[in-house]
Each structure stands twice: as structure tokens, then as C-alpha cells.
């Protein structure tokens, strides 16, 4: 097809039967002026041809076919290795609707600014049209989009991360609506880079980056920033949460959704392997998703969740047989690695992989020299189908979603916050989510123990004002609602010696078991102003090597410390001004008063 032709493609050939979609693609082509347009069908043959093209031009490097069959390495531009929050904008007509939690630009100004960058940017390139579905293709909870890009690497990743191609296009044509995503790698110039979101237009425009969440527009851009806006207007929740199934020895499975900020073990928990004693007793963990959760009230008043993604886009460094054996097993074949090191026999390598092999080439493609930095970029990634995970559950394809028994919030707190506590009710649970955060380290900020709030782990991803977001959460507490219990966990409490008190990893199942016992009423707990803590003996600690006094610190309640915490929380909520729901302010004040007693 001629890129600047005004003629629409014939239905049934390249293109769509949906006039609005065809016209948008023609308009984008007129702006970007590609040499050719390719409508992606998601087929094996199409993928093989794209991979061959990328191997030929060096975009992908095939890895050791004996150890990692059908796997490739991609190296990003050194200035294009992570999300760029300061260049990520939410463009609503009113600044206040975006809120202080987002960078804002007026829509007309934003369109003009980024369209000037898109002008002619695809000359000499092919424009790929990617119809995709976020969630099971036949689920009423799923939502569709179309990403237009000039990056075949993006096509290959979107094929893994979404339900992409002909089935998605058929659903878009049936429904007549879709999220529009326009992307170009541009010149990969950090000074000419923006990721713009127009929630009220269901539109995303991303220019100047080929990396991850900046370029795979189905991921954070659609599934969180745009979807959070859709969810608010349609009565559901789009959240930065894992979803796991916890099956007990009697064969009953409870589903848990959990939100943690980065570096707090979300993927590890989603793929957790139970401790040996629990495995022998018949406990199992099933992985539904490791990053994003869409929840909607069902006819029975419970929240039902889907994972809108079809794959994992995981951080490679630190992934090992010790930390996450299921993740490591998932990425032994049919995986795209981005910005990892390579060994002499062409296997992928990263810091913390936990074996005796050594890298010879770093993530830039240069000879590895430890003095010049790590072999793998700290934010290096793997992209792989979720179905390759040993703990993958076929319930991930359930069109109605899975019923959520518990919602878990958690952060990295070296002190004060106990291993686990339960919120008193839904309003208290929303406050617990709004208050969550992590303490920084000296290596990251130059100051140890600085608390950085990250409500519901959504600070970089909520597509509108956090105060309105909290109000939306509160709105689910309706007559007849059977809402999940809400918990908070902290795997990262430290002792006076600076060492972690809790072993973490598989032993986290012991905490999940207590949550489920609270859900079914078989654990009593202890009431405190901050919530319900486990009674002595309610968490099975058999075989857990805890330091002297660790249990009391892990499950203790420091009234004086919590007074200061709630005073700081009150100041944080006040930052959002009059939009902050009065119910949340009242809940903070209620607990603050109890803490004075």
C-alpha cells in the first residue's frame, strides 16, 4: 500500500472493515510518511519473517540454540534503557484532573508538540499496525487497542505480551472501539522523547524511545494509565498488582491480588514455590499474572480479576534458582532478552544469575570489564509467554476472571511496619493502600530510610488525580458487596544488626496462609489501632530460623512510632487538597486518635 495514498485498503485484505480504524491509519501514514504499511496478523509466519529481518540488520542476536532455543538478545541504545517518568505526561483539559501525581500538559499543546516530532519520522521505514487485546480474547473484562509503530522489535514483544493479530482485530471490528497508540523510535534522542497520554481521547503518543514501557504501549501506557481512566468511568479497577492462586491441601483455591513498588518482590511472590513441608502437605501456588490486574464486581458482589497481559516483561538481574526458580525455568526458550550480558558460548547472563558461567560481552556489546560496570544493565529484561511458567494457571484464560479473596499491599520498610496486618474494613484498607511506600537506600538517594509514598504502587501509573482515584476505590463499598479483605505485608524488616529478620521467598507462603485463615474465619488475630495482627502461634514458623527476638519485632506494635507515621500520613493526604475524600481523612484521624490512647 502506498503510505501517502488516501485510498482505504479493501476489506478482507490489508486493513480493517472498521472505517474509523482505517481512516486513523491513513491519517497517521499521512503524518509519518512510511515507505510501507504492514497490518499484523500475529501468525507464526509473520513473526518468523520479522525475526529474520531483525537478525539480518542486527536488531536481534540469536542466542545459543542448544541451551536457549528460539531466544534472542536485543541491545537498546545506551540512552534508552528505562521508563522516563519526567517525560511521561497525562494530558487532560484541566490540570487538576491529572493531579499532582502526574506531569501535565494541555491536550492541544501536547498534540502539536509531539505531532511535530512525528512529521515524516517513518520515511525509509515500515509502519506496523498492531491490533491487540488486553486480556482473554473473549472476556467481557478485556479491552482492545491498536498500536502503530515503526519498530519490528515492538511487534515481536507485543505478540508475546498481548493477544495480538487477527482475533483482536475481529473483536475491535465487532465492538467498534479501541485505544489508539502511535509510536515511533524517532532518532532515539533523549532530547526528542515524550510519552503522552490523552485519557479522554483513549489515545497514547510515544516518540523517541524503543524501550519497554515507553514503546510497548499495551503495557503501562494502556493497561494502567489509560485503563485506570476507563476503569473509573466504567466501574472497575486497573491496578499494578500480581494475581496468584493459593491452593490448600483440600484442593480449594483462593486468589490473591498484591501491589508492591519496584524492588519489593512482586514477580517472586507471583511464582512462589512453597516450603518443603507445605509442598509435601499439598499446598500449591498458581500464577495468574505478575504485574497488572483488572478487577470488576461480579453478580455475586465479589471482585473478579483478569491479568490483561499474556506474557512477562521481567527484570533479569537477581533472577536465579534461589530467588525465583519458576521465572528462570520460564526463560529457557522462546524468550527475548534485552540488555543482558553474554557468555563465551552465547548464553544470556546477568548479575545474580547464580551459576559459575562468566560474561565475555556486556549489555552494550562491548568486551566485559567489571571496572566499567555490570555486564547486564540493572534494568535489563526478559519477555516470555506466561504459558511457559511452570506455575502458570489455565484460569488466566478464564473469561469471567478469578474471584479475589484478599488484596495485599506492601513496601520495603526496615523498621516499624510489621510482617503482616489486616485492615479493619474496606475504608481502612484503602487508607492502607494510600499510605504504602518504601524506604530509600543510600546507594539510590544519598539518604537512608527516607519514606517515599507510592499509593497502591501506582504513583508512576495512575492516569488521573490520586484523590479521585482513592474516591473511586472507596465507591466499591456498596450494599451487597462481598469485598476482599485487605492486608499489608513487609518482608524487609531489619534487626539492630541491619540484617533482614524474615527469610522471605518461599516462606512468604506462611503469611499468605494466615491471610486465608482470616478470610475463612479460622484465625482470630489481635486487634490494634493499625489493624489486626497475628496471634502468637497463628503463623506456622516450624523450620524457620529466626534470630532471637525476631518474632516479637516482626509481629510487634510500636505505638509511639505509629503516632509519628500517622502524623506524616495526615500531612501527605492534605497535599491533595479539597479533592481528598473526607472518608479517608476521617479514617486517618480516627486511627491517629486511637494511637494517642
Span 148-177, pLDDT tens digits: 999 999 999 999 999 999 999 999 999 999
Tell whether 183 is in a known binding site.
no
- What's the farthest any 2 CA atoms get from each other in the chain? 76
Q: What is the pLDDT along the chain (597 residues), one digit of tens a residue?
A: 333 333 333 333 468 999 999 999 999 999 999 999 999 999 999 999 999 999 999 999 999 999 999 999 999 999 999 888 899 999 999 999 999 999 999 999 999 999 999 999 999 999 999 999 999 999 999 999 999 999 999 999 999 999 999 999 999 999 999 999 999 999 999 999 999 999 999 999 999 999 999 999 999 999 999 999 999 999 999 999 999 999 999 999 999 999 998 778 899 999 999 999 999 999 999 999 999 999 999 999 999 999 999 999 999 999 999 999 999 999 999 999 999 999 999 999 999 999 999 999 999 999 999 999 999 999 999 999 999 999 999 999 999 999 999 999 999 999 999 999 999 999 999 999 999 988 764 434 345 567 889 999 999 999 999 999 999 999 999 999 999 999 999 999 999 999 999 999 999 999 999 999 999 999 999 999 999 999 999 999 999 999 999 999 999 999 999 999 999 999 999 999 999 999 999 999 999 999 997
Tell whether 381 is in a known binding site.
yes
Distance of alpha carbon 363 from alpha carbon 361, whole angstroms:
7
Q: Is 264 known to be catalytic?
A: yes
Span 22-62, pLDDT tens digits: 999 999 999 999 999 999 999 999 999 999 999 999 999 99
Fold of 239-309+394-596: Phosphoenolpyruvate Carboxykinase; domain 3 (3.90.228)
Closest to 37 (Cα-Cα) out of 80, 2, 82, 76: 2
E strand map for 450-584 = 451-453, 485-489, 526-528, 531-533
pLDDT of residue 341: 98
Q: Would you put residue 593 in left (φ > 0), alpha (ψ -120 to 50) or beta?
A: alpha
Domain ranges of the chain: 19-59+81-235, 239-309+394-596, 311-388
Question: Do 32 and 121 meet the contact criterion of CB atoms below 8 Å apart?
Answer: yes
Tell whether 211 is in a known binding site.
yes
Tell whether 262 is in a known binding site.
yes
Tell whether 452 is in a known binding site.
no
189-210: b or e for each residue (b if 16 or more CB lie within 10 Å)? eeeebbbbbbbeebbbbbbbbb
pLDDT of residue 119: 98
Please state which CATH number belongs to domain 311-388: 2.170.8.10
111-134: b or e for each residue (b if 16 or more CB lie within 10 Å)? bebbeebbeebbeebbbbbbbbbb
Tell whether 135 is in a known binding site.
no
Superfamily of domain 19-59+81-235: Phosphoenolpyruvate Carboxykinase, domain 1 (3.40.449.10)
Catalytic residue among 91, 133, 144, 264: 264
Distance of alpha carbon 337 from alpha carbon 61, whole angstroms:
10
Tell whether 220 is in a known binding site.
yes
pLDDT of residue 329: 98
Distance of alpha carbon 455 from alpha carbon 576, whole angstroms:
13
Closest to 161 (Cα-Cα) out of 443, 413, 431, 385: 385
Span 376-388, pLDDT tens digits: 999 999 999 999 9
Please report, in angstroms and rounded to a whole number, the separation of the first and last CA atoms in the chain: 74
Tell whether 380 is in a known binding site.
yes
Tell whether 278 is in a known binding site.
no
Amino acid at each position: 500500500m502506498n503510505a501517502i495514498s488516501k485510498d482505504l485498503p479493501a476489506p478482507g485484505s490489508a486493513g480493517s472493515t472498521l472505517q474509523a480504524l482505517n481512516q486513523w491509519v491513513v491519517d497517521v501514514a499521512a503524518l509519518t510518511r512510511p515507505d510501507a504499511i504492514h497490518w499484523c496478523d500475529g501468525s507464526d509466519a509473520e513473526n518468523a519473517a520479522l525475526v529474520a529481518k531483525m537478525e539480518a540488520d542486527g536488531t536481534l542476536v540469536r542466542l545459543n540454540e542448544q541451551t536457549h532455543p528460539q531466544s534472542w538478545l536485543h541491545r537498546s541504545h545506551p540512552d534508552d534503557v528505562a521508563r522516563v517518568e519526567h517525560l511521561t505526561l497525562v494530558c487532560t483539559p484541566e490540570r487538576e484532573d491529572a493531579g499532582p501525581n502526574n506531569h501535565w500538559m494541555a491536550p492541544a499543546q501536547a498534540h502539536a508538540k509531539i505531532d511535530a516530532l512525528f512529521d515524516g519520522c517513518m520515511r525509509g521505514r515500515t509502519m506496523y499496525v498492531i491490533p491487540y487485546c488486553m486480556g482473554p480474547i473473549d472476556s467481557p473484562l478485556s479491552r482492545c487497542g491498536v498500536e502503530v509503530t515503526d519498530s519490528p522489535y515492538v511487534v515481536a514483544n507485543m505478540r508475546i505480551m498481548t493477544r495480538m493479530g487477527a482475533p483482536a482485530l475481529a473483536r475491535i471490528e465487532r465492538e467498534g472501539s479501541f485505544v489508539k497508540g502511535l509510536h515511533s523510535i524517532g532518532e532515539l534522542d533523549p532530547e526528542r522523547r515524550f510519552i503522552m497520554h490523552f485519557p479522554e481521547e483513549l489515545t497514547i503518543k510515544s516518540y523517541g524511545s524503543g524501550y519497554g514501557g515507553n514503546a510497548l504501549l499495551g503495557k503501562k501506557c494502556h493497561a494502567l494509565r489509560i485503563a485506570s481512566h476507563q476503569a473509573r468511568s466504567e466501574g472497575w479497577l486497573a491496578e499494578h498488582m500480581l494475581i496468584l492462586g493459593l491452593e490448600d491441601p483440600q484442593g480449594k483455591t483462593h486468589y490473591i491480588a498484591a501491589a508492591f513498588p519496584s524492588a519489593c518482590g512482586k514477580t517472586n511472590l507471583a511464582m512462589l514455590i512453597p516450603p518443603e513441608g507445605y509442598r509435601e502437605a499439598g499446598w500449591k501456588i498458581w500464577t495468574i499474572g505478575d504485574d497488572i490486574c483488572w478487577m470488576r464486581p461480579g453478580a455475586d458482589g465479589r471482585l473478579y480479576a483478569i491479568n490483561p497481559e499474556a506474557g512477562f516483561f521481567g527484570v533479569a538481574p537477581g533472577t536465579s534458582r534461589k530467588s525465583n526458580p519458576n521465572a528462570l525455568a520460564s526463560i529457557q526458550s522462546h524468550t527475548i532478552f534485552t540488555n543482558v550480558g553474554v557468555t563465551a558460548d552465547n548464553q544470556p547472563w546477568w548479575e545474580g544469575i547464580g551459576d559459575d558461567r562468566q560474561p565475555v560481552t556486556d549489555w552494550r556489546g562491548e568486551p566485559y570489564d567489571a571496572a566499567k560496570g555490570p555486564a547486564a544493565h540493572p534494568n535489563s529484561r526478559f519477555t516470555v509467554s506466561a504459558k511457559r511458567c511452570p506455575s502458570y494457571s489455565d484460569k488466566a484464560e478464564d473469561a469471567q476472571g478469578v474471584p479475589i479473596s484478599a488484596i495485599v499491599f506492601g513496601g520495603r520498610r526496615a523498621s516499624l511496619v510489621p510482617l503482616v496486618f489486616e485492615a479493619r474494613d474496606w475504608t481502612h484498607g484503602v487508607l492502607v493502600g494510600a499510605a504504602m511506600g518504601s524506604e530509600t537506600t543510600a546507594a539510590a538517594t544519598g539518604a537512608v530510610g527516607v519514606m517515599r509514598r507510592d499509593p497502591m504502587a501506582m504513583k508512576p501509573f495512575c492516569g488521573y488525580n490520586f484523590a479521585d482515584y482513592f474516591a473511586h476505590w472507596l465507591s466499591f463499598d456498596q450494599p451487597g458487596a462481598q469485598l476482599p479483605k485487605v492486608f499489608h505485608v513487609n518482608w524487609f524488616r531489619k534487626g539492630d544488626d541491619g540484617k533482614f529478620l524474615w527469610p522471605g521467598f518461599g516462606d512468604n507462603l506462611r503469611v499468605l496462609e494466615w491471610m486465608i485463615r482470616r478470610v475463612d474465619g479460622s484465625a482470630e488475630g489481635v486487634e490494634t489501632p493499625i489493624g489486626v495482627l497475628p496471634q502468637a502461634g497463628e503463623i506456622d514458623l516450624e523450620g524457620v530460623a529466626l534470630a532471637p527476638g525476631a518474632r516479637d519485632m516482626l509481629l510487634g506494635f510500636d505505638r509511639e512510632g505509629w503516632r509519628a507515621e500517622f502524623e506524616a500520613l495526615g500531612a501527605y493526604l492534605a497535599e491533595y487538597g479539597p479533592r481528598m475524600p473526607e472518608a479517608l481523612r476521617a479514617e486517618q484521624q480516627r486511627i491517629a486518635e486511637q494511637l494517642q490512647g
